[in-house]
Amino acid sequence: MLSQDSLKDSLQENVLVLTGSIVKTPKQSTSPAGITHSQFSIDHKSIQNEAGMNRQAFVRIQVVATSELSHLTRELVVGQTVKVTGFINRHESRNGNPLLVLHAQQIEMIN
């Protein structure tokens, strides 16, 4: 059972909305529990205002989609623009380096 403090910590916001171009073809896999996963990468490029100055922003992030969203990713192709809404989580690369990964809760294809 969660303590009051643990419950409070678990309810903190973790939402990321990012629009970007697909740069890595979605790769499908199935977990030992039978859950379908899809992984792909997107590039986001924009100009953001910071302290009254324009600043170029660029990020490449890995996206993970599960279950019904993973089936949607079969239609995605490199170069296509998508809007992904989800939460970020820390993963470790095969060599032990920490990575931030966007876990998709919604994927919208942009024309």
How many CB atoms neighbour CB 18 within 10 A? 19
- Note the pLDDT tens digit of each residue in 62-104: 999 998 787 788 889 999 999 999 999 998 888 989 989 999 9
- 17-42 pLDDT, tens digit each: 999 999 988 999 888 888 889 999 99
Q: For the full predicted model, state whether its pTM sits above 0.85.
A: no
pLDDT value of position 39: 93
Fold classification of 13-110 is: OB fold (Dihydrolipoamide Acetyltransferase, E2P) (2.40.50)
Residue 80 in contact with residue 22, Cβ under 8 Å? yes
Mean pLDDT of all residues in 40-45: 96
